[in-house]
Chains A and B, each alone.
Chain A
């Protein structure tokens, strides 16, 4: 079990999983979070769910942010969930951004997605959400 130490600065892992190379959104969010004073790790593109889950646990992050642009969000969340379960780390909130149809929102929430940010979302909304989660 991961023991969270008390800290005021949120630590976030921003990840791209799968083959999709559209990284502009993920990078803009990652740098936006950093500029808002958070500690941010950006994984780079084409990571596996296992590597992301491992990094999240190793780096003791408070939130995992996943960006998905080509419709692989459900598959990604299922696999990530499994990896987090294996590491006993499903308590790390996962948030999603990108091109994600509303009809998948419920399924994604059931898989542990805490929030979903569609195109046109503000970085400041994401900052606010994370600050609300990490207290």
Chain B
């Protein structure tokens, strides 16, 4: 049959059976055609040799490893946080005893914002979103009986305080008598996206960026196996960005970090292999799969063409994936299990290296044990029962997936050029360019739901009559805050104040003179200076950043 003949049949079919929509679009508003075929793919300029290659080979569209999940499944890294160091210690020991090989240290908001537990703004937030860490003492308690080299990797959500967490882990290693070469710390340390989404910034953008790169520089020179930065698209996605924007903004941010590191005299091949990326995975399945493929290809091309990287490791992008919060509904929450499963499927078919699956009740409360269990088992079911991991890049060559991959790359490239024209990521963020596009996308999404154009099951269609939404309280152990403050006071009382003062002074000098702050931070944490004190010291040099009210 010729294409024209088929098109006649198609038109006839539409006439007879109708058409659900006049036009179909992906979530990023890429218009979808009736059918994708070899002809269309070829006309889009697709060159298999250039654009696909082999898995484990440039441009890594098909995955960063030749054998992908046939060698080993992705890392199933669940994210969780607990109020106080003892509870966290207990939880970590439990997870390690169950064979979990990587630990994620979730930090409460005051810690992430450089506020000690007794700061007035910390009131009511201590120990809520994660554990409260004030000083090295808390780290010693969290890892009491857990040598740092026992887990394969320890990940933290330190962003504005990234270099301080690095110092804390290095000092803890000294205390435990374990050489840093025997453990691996992963810092999120992606400060630019904090000004766009998530919001845990402390200092203004310029010193923030410099501070983040202090950790990158220090690790590159001393501990090159650490992962000092994870460039995140996921939070911007949750904040409203489309898939194309997620790719463009996170790659633009990556450029800002790489530029800053190169400006410090680092060789791209010395630090790029330690950079990782974190992306989201909402429900628009094929677009998400294509997004990962486009992202890897763009990363590889950017590193090779723009930065002259030579090492394959610099061009291979390790992708961490989190399933999505905004696609979950408070209505009929059991349906979220299905959503998480489909999102996880997208991440795996997209070739992710690490995957965290949300619990179905996360929109209602801190996940129950049962919900957290289902979330992890969802990954095991996909890994062991479906066979999707048994072939490398099973969707490679699909007319549709390859076309979408190209379209996402083209769209993201155009947006990155626009960011470039605005003077790069930092400038674009400072003038609100990312934020404006994300706000519009989020508003469009909401409008589509309210108009019924976008169906969310259980929310605007297939609702249950008089359903009661059962949001539960964020119950944190009574007294977590009081105990954290008590512990903090004991630490402050038991340390050598003169030494703390002199270490903080050295830190201030390092910041003033534009030197790398990590060595001074290590001295500070060794002396049991608190995170609040270190951030206060730095803010005297750098200032603090605060959003101001605006008329819309």
Which A residues are within 8 Å of any B CB, using their own CB? 13, 18-24, 27-28, 30-32, 34-35, 39-48, 55, 70-72, 75, 99-104, 118-120, 122-124
Contact = CB atoms under 8 A, between A and B. Distances in A.
A32 B446 contact: yes
Interface residues of B, number: 47
Nearest to A30: B552
Nearest to A20: B109
Contacts of A40: 551-552
B329 A19 contact: no
Nearest to B551: A41
B128 interface: yes
B473 A103 contact: yes
B83 to A, nearest CB: 13
A41 B239 CA distance: 19
A27 B441 CA distance: 11
B111 to A, nearest CB: 10
A24 B238 contact: yes
Contacts of B468: 102
6 closest A-B pairs by beta carbon, nearest first, are: A21-B199, A44-B547, A71-B474, A19-B109, A119-B330, A75-B124
Most buried by A among B113, B124, B472, B549: B549
A88 B179 CA distance: 61
Contacts of B550: 41-42, 44
A45 B199 contact: yes
A28 B442 contact: yes
A77 B471 CA distance: 18
Contact of B552 (A21, A23, A42, A99): A42
Interface string B467-480: 01111111000000
B453 interface: no
A46 to B, nearest CB: 7
Contact of A27 (B326, B439, B450, B469): B439
Nearest to B200: A21
29 contacts: A18-B121, A18-B125, A20-B199, A21-B194, A21-B197, A21-B200, A24-B239, A24-B326, A27-B240, A31-B443, A31-B552, A40-B552, A41-B549, A41-B550, A41-B551, A42-B549, A42-B550, A48-B121, A70-B129, A70-B474, A75-B123, A99-B330, A99-B363, A102-B470, A103-B473, A104-B473, A119-B471, A123-B450, A124-B450
Nearest to A76: B124
Contacts of A103: 473
B129 A100 contact: no
Contacts of B549: 13, 41-44, 47, 55
Interface in B98-116: 109-110, 113, 115
B439 A119 contact: no
Contact of A71 (B200, B473, B552): B473
B146 interface: no
B547 A46 contact: yes
